[in-house]
Amino acid sequence: MISVKNVSYTYMTGTPFEKTALKNISFDVAEGEVLAVAGHTGSGKSTLIQIVAGLIDLTQGSVTIDNLPVADKKIRRLVGIVFQYPEHQLFEETVESDIAFAPKNFGLSDAEISAQVEEAMRQVGLPAELKSVSPFELSGGQKRRVAIAGILALKPKYLILDEPTAGLDPLAKENLLKEIFGAVKKSGATIILVSHNMEDIARFANRVVVLAQGQILFVGTPRELFSREEILSRAGLEPPPITQLLSKLNLNQNALTLDEAEKIILKNFPRK
Ligand SMILES: Nc1ncnc2c1ncn2[C@@H]1O[C@H](COP(=O)(O)OP(=O)(O)O)[C@@H](O)[C@H]1O
Ligand SMILES: [Mg+2]
């Protein structure tokens, strides 16, 4: 379990550029859940997850992971974080060596590394033949997959993804999340998904933390969130298009997914 208690964070304290990014944040992440962190640009999402991953030192409040303080070196192997636009950090000559980079640093044997690279490639839907290709010859969506596979190869118990589909075309987006979430969930990992895509949150998250100006506005299920108009408007978020459509047609206030919407529409307008 991850437990975040009363965390506040200010950048460049004591300078004219001082900026409070987080104010008194508390929430838990339960084993095996997908917790989304949503909010407008600048609301503090990336700062929060970097603190949770131990990449920004705490100045106020506490974060524990499996009861260890986040500063404890033992948590490094437990938490994998995929930054926004992670493909910018690809640099090895082949896909295989890029994915193997972090497992190598953690001192795994060659056999273990090779097995984990293969599994990670399967998890993100990359064909094994791409192993020996240069990552720079791949499409944007494939590069993103390589970067994510590099983190999955560490088999993190907690996986943090910062806007994993930002900037991808719709098809790459759709499959990427389906694949990662299918595979990673099967392995029992716990996921924190930073996203301002409400459709992704509706489909994949068990719970959502909504941030606005560094503060928590809401913690609850996606369904609850999409029925709370005042929260959404304060956070600058909108329900998924399908939820808005059914609500406008007065068919349902909180249908979340296309599958659900289809059932509701067929019930109201049966096929002749
Ligand atoms: N390295 C930094 N130095 C100073 N201010 C920063 C830094 N990183 C982020 N901020 C500021 O902190 C606030 C929260 O940023 P961030 O956590 O990146 O939000 P989000 O990921 O939700 O867009 C913003 O006002 C941003 O400008
Ligand atoms: Mg961010």
pLDDT at 156: 93
Domain containing residue 256: 240-272
**Euclidean distance between CA atoms 220 and 225, whole angstroms:** 7
Residue to probe by mutation, ligand 1, list 22, 46, 193, most atoms within 8 Å of CB: 46
| pLDDT of res. 250 | 85
Residue 234 forms part of a structural domain: no
Q: Which ligand is nearest to the CA of 42?
A: 1
Count of domains forming the chain? 2
Considering the domain architecture, whether residues 57 and 102 belong to the same structural domain is answered as yes
Residues 215, 252: one domain? no
Ligand 2 center to residue 192 CA distance, Å? Answer: 13
Q: Are 80 and 158 in contact (CB under 8 A)?
A: yes
What pLDDT score does 91 carry? 86
With beta carbons less than 8 A apart as the criterion, state whether 90 and 107 touch. no
Assess whether 186 and 57 both reside in one domain.
Answer: yes
Same structural domain for residues 33 and 164?
yes
| Centre of ligand 1 from the C-alpha of residue 42, in Å | 5
Span from the CA of 133 to the centroid of ligand 2 (angstroms): 30
Kindly state the helix (H) or strand (E) to which residue 37 belongs, with its residue range. Answer: strand 34-38
Q: What is the pLDDT of residue 270?
A: 84
Pocket test residue of 10, 11, 37 for ligand 1, highest count of atoms within 8 A of CB: 11
Report yes or no on 165 lying in a domain: yes
Rounded to the nearest angstrom, the distance between the alpha carbon of 5 and the centre of ligand 1 is 20
Whether 12 is in the pocket of ligand 1, judged by its Cβ within 6 Å, is yes
244 and 221 in a single domain? The answer is: no
Residue 17 lies in a domain: yes
Given this model, what pLDDT does residue 214 score?
Answer: 97
The reply to whether ligand 1 has any atom less than 6 angstroms from the CB of 43 is yes
Average pLDDT per block of 10 residues along the chain, 272 residues long? 98 95 98 95 96 95 97 92 90 93 87 93 93 93 93 93 89 82 84 91 94 97 92 91 86 80 87 78
Q: What is the model's pLDDT at position 260?
A: 86
Domain match, 272 and 137 both: no
Q: Are 198 and 38 in contact (CB under 8 A)?
A: yes
